[in-house]
Structure 1
Amino acid sequence: MMPSGRPDRHDHRPRKCVTTAARNRRQPNPSSEFRPPQPLTMPHLRHLLVCLATTFVCVATADEASPDETTSSEAINLQGSGAARIDFENDVLPRLTRHGCNGGACHGAAAGRGGFKLSLYGGDPDADFDQIVRNLGGRRINLNDAELSLLIRKPTETVEHGGGAVLSEADAQQLIAWIDQGAPRTPQRQLQRVQVDPTRHVAPAAGHSVSLRTTAIYQDGSQRDVTDQTIFSSADPSAVRIEPLSGTATVLRAGRHVVIARYWNRVVPVELIGAHDNSPISPDERAADNFIDQEVIEALATLRLPPSGPADDAVFLRRLSLDLTGRLPTPEQTLRFLLDTRPDKRDRLLNRLLDGEAFNEYWTLQLATLLRLRPRGDDPEGAHVYHDWLAQQLRDRRGYDAIARSLLLSGGDTHVIGPANFYRMADGPRQQAELFSEVLMASRLRCANCHNHPLDRWTQDDYHGLAAIFATLQTGREVRPNPDGYVVHPRTLEPATPRLPGQQDLPTDRADVRVALADWLIDPDNPYFAKAMVNRLWQRMMGRGLVEPVDDFRATNPATHPRLLQRLADDFVAHGYDLRHTLRQIAQTQTYARSADATSANRNDQAFYSHRLRRPLDAEVLADAISDVLGVAETYGDQPIGTRAVALLDPSTESETLDVLGRCDRTSSCATPSASAGGLTQQLHRFNGDMLNQRIAVSGGRLDGLLDQSTPPEEIIQTFYLAALCRQPTERERRHWNEQLNRLSSSADRRTFLEDLVWGLLSCEEFVTNH
Structure 2
Amino acid sequence: MPFARPSRRWLALLAAGAVCAAAFAAAERDVPPGPPPLQDLPDAAAVDDFFAERWAEEQVEPAPPADDLLVLRRLSLALHGTIPSLEEIRAFEADAGPDRLVRWTDRLLADRRFADYWAERLARALVGVHEGNLILFRRDRFKAWLADRLHRDAPWDETVRRMIAGEGMWTAKPEVNFVTAEIENDLLDREALAGRTVRAFLGQRIDCAQCHDHPFAEWSQGDFEGLAAFYGRTAYGLTGVRERTRENGEPKEFAVQDRETLEDRVVAPAVPFAPERLPETFEADSTARRAALAAWVTHPENRRFGRATANRVWGLLFGRAWKEPVDDLPDPEPLEPGEPGDLLDRLAASFVGPGQYRLKGLIRTIAASRAFRLSSAVPGAGEQEYERLTRAGAVFPLTRLRPEQMIGAMTQAGSVRTLDADSPLFVRAIRFFRTVDFVRDYGDPGEDELIREPGTVPQALLRMNGRLPREIAQKQPFGAPARLTWFAGPPPRQIEAAFLCVLSRRPTDEEAAALARYYEPNGDEANYPMEDVYWTLFNAPEFSWNH
TM category, shorter:
0.7 to 0.9
1:444 correspondence with 2:242: no
SS in 1 for 2:265: coil
Given that residues 82 and 408 in structure 2 are in contact (C-alpha distance below 8 angstroms), is that contact kept between their aligned partners in structure 1? yes
Aligned pairs for 1:541-620 (under 5 A) are: 541-555=317-331, 563-574=342-353, 576-600=356-380, 602-605=385-388, 606-620=390-404
Report sequence identity in percent: 28
Query: What is the aligned partner in structure 1 of residue 427 from structure 2?
Result: 642
Distance 2:470 2:268 in 1: 60
Query: What is the aligned partner in structure 2 of residue 412 from structure 1?
Result: 168
Residue deviations 1:358-410 (CA, integer Å, cap 9, x gap): 22222222222221255322438833332221122122211110001111111
Q: Counterpart amino acid of 1:317?
A: L
Query: What is the aligned partner in structure 2 of residue 628 from structure 1?
Result: 412
SS in 1 for 2:270: coil
- Assess, with a 3 A threshold, how the Cα gap between structure 1 residues 704 and 739 changes in structure 2: closer, same or farther: closer
Distance 1:740 1:726 in 2: 21
Q: Counterpart amino acid of 1:720?
A: A
Given that residues 320 and 451 in structure 2 are in contact (C-alpha distance below 8 angstroms), is that contact kept between their aligned partners in structure 1? no
Given that residues 156 and 359 in structure 2 are in contact (C-alpha distance below 8 angstroms), is that contact kept between their aligned partners in structure 1? yes
Distance 1:588 1:682 in 2: 33
Q: 1:533 aligns with which of 309, 312, 322?
A: 309
Q: Counterpart amino acid of 1:571?
A: S
CA deviation after TM superposition for structure 1 residue 555, in Å: 4.0
CA deviation after TM superposition for structure 1 residue 707, in Å: 4.1
SS in 2 for 1:552: coil
Residue deviations 1:463-490 (CA, integer Å, cap 9, x gap): 1111111121113562122321323154
Q: Counterpart amino acid of 1:499?
A: A
Distance 2:143 2:319 in 1: 26
Query: What is the aligned partner in structure 2 of residue 661 from structure 1?
Result: 442
Distance 1:562 1:646 in 2: 45
SS in 1 for 2:268: coil
Which one is further off, 395-404 or 656-665? 656-665
- Assess, with a 3 A threshold, how the Cα gap between structure 1 residues 345 and 378 changes in structure 2: closer, same or farther: closer
Q: 2:106 aligns with which of 351, 359, 384?
A: 351
Given that residues 488 and 497 in structure 2 are in contact (C-alpha distance below 8 angstroms), is that contact kept between their aligned partners in structure 1? no
CA deviation after TM superposition for structure 1 residue 308, in Å: 0.8
Residue deviations 1:173-202 (CA, integer Å, cap 9, x gap): xxxxxxxxxxxxxxxxxxxxxxxxxxxxxx
CA deviation after TM superposition for structure 1 residue 543, in Å: 2.8
- Assess, with a 3 A threshold, how the Cα gap between structure 1 residues 747 and 337 changes in structure 2: closer, same or farther: farther
Given that residues 550 and 671 in structure 1 are in contact (C-alpha distance below 8 angstroms), is that contact kept between their aligned partners in structure 2? yes
1:763 correspondence with 2:539: yes
Distance 2:359 2:44 in 1: 22
SS in 2 for 1:551: coil
SS in 2 for 1:403: helix
Distance 1:547 1:754 in 2: 43
- Assess, with a 3 A threshold, how the Cα gap between structure 1 residues 414 and 713 changes in structure 2: closer, same or farther: same
Aligned pairs for 1:216-227 (under 5 A) are: none
| Aligned residue pair count | 467
Residue deviations 1:503-522 (CA, integer Å, cap 9, x gap): 55984322221122112111
Distance 1:525 1:645 in 2: 47
Query: What is the aligned partner in structure 1 of residue 116 from structure 2?
Result: 361
Given that residues 127 and 139 in structure 2 are in contact (C-alpha distance below 8 angstroms), is that contact kept between their aligned partners in structure 1? no
Distance 1:381 1:457 in 2: 34
More strand by share: 1
CA deviation after TM superposition for structure 1 residue 529, in Å: 0.9
- Assess, with a 3 A threshold, how the Cα gap between structure 1 residues 378 and 521 changes in structure 2: closer, same or farther: closer
Q: Using structure 2 for the length normalisation, give the TM-score.
A: 0.78
CA deviation after TM superposition for structure 1 residue 293, in Å: 1.1
- Assess, with a 3 A threshold, how the Cα gap between structure 1 residues 557 and 508 changes in structure 2: closer, same or farther: closer
Given that residues 137 and 177 in structure 2 are in contact (C-alpha distance below 8 angstroms), is that contact kept between their aligned partners in structure 1? no
Runs (4 or more) in structure 1 with deviation over 6 Å come to 644-648
Distance 1:690 1:600 in 2: 38
Which one is further off, 594-603 or 737-746? 737-746
Residue deviations 1:683-711 (CA, integer Å, cap 9, x gap): 12112332323442153432234446695
Query: What is the aligned partner in structure 1 of residue 513 from structure 2?
Result: 735
CA deviation after TM superposition for structure 1 residue 448, in Å: 0.3
SS in 2 for 1:474: strand
Q: 1:685 aligns with which of 428, 449, 462?
A: 462
Distance 1:646 1:459 in 2: 48
1:518 correspondence with 2:286: no
Distance 1:295 1:615 in 2: 23
Residue deviations 1:717-758 (CA, integer Å, cap 9, x gap): 222211111112122222222345335455523x1x432221
Given that residues 368 and 387 in structure 1 are in contact (C-alpha distance below 8 angstroms), is that contact kept between their aligned partners in structure 2? yes
1:495 correspondence with 2:266: yes
Q: Counterpart amino acid of 1:655?
A: V
More helix by share: 2
Given that residues 475 and 531 in structure 2 are in contact (C-alpha distance below 8 angstroms), is that contact kept between their aligned partners in structure 1? no
Which one is further off, 705-714 or 517-526? 705-714
Aligned pairs for 1:234-245 (under 5 A) are: none
SS in 2 for 1:616: coil
Distance 1:729 1:557 in 2: 48
Query: What is the aligned partner in structure 2 of residue 138 from structure 1?
Result: none
SS in 1 for 2:494: helix
Which one is further off, 607-616 or 444-453? 607-616
Q: 1:400 aligns with which of 156, 175, 179?
A: 156
Distance 1:551 1:406 in 2: 21
Aligned pairs for 1:670-709 (under 5 A) are: 670-673=449-452, 675=453, 678-697=455-474, 699-700=476-477, 701-707=479-485
Distance 1:691 1:681 in 2: 14
Q: Counterpart amino acid of 1:604?
A: E
Distance 2:170 2:401 in 1: 33
Distance 1:562 1:645 in 2: 48
Aligned pairs for 1:18-97 (under 5 A) are: none
Query: What is the aligned partner in structure 1 of residue 29 from structure 2?
Result: none
CA deviation after TM superposition for structure 1 residue 491, in Å: 4.6
Which one is further off, 403-412 or 335-344? 335-344
Q: Counterpart amino acid of 1:408?
A: I
- Assess, with a 3 A threshold, how the Cα gap between structure 1 residues 476 and 299 changes in structure 2: closer, same or farther: farther
Q: Counterpart amino acid of 1:312?
A: D
Query: What is the aligned partner in structure 1 of residue 132 from structure 2?
Result: 376
Distance 1:415 1:457 in 2: 39
SS in 2 for 1:593: coil
Q: Counterpart amino acid of 1:453?
A: H
SS in 2 for 1:480: strand
SS in 1 for 2:387: coil
- Assess, with a 3 A threshold, how the Cα gap between structure 1 residues 576 and 298 changes in structure 2: closer, same or farther: same
Query: What is the aligned partner in structure 2 of residue 40 from structure 1?
Result: none
Q: Counterpart amino acid of 1:371?
A: L
1:481 correspondence with 2:260: no
CA deviation after TM superposition for structure 1 residue 585, in Å: 0.6
Q: Counterpart amino acid of 1:736?
A: A
Query: What is the aligned partner in structure 2 of residue 303 from structure 1?
Result: 58
CA deviation after TM superposition for structure 1 residue 654, in Å: 8.9
Query: What is the aligned partner in structure 1 of residue 15 from structure 2?
Result: none
SS in 2 for 1:353: helix
Given that residues 458 and 502 in structure 1 are in contact (C-alpha distance below 8 angstroms), is that contact kept between their aligned partners in structure 2? no
Q: 1:464 aligns with which of 225, 249, 265?
A: 225
Distance 1:546 1:591 in 2: 12
Q: Counterpart amino acid of 2:121?
A: Q
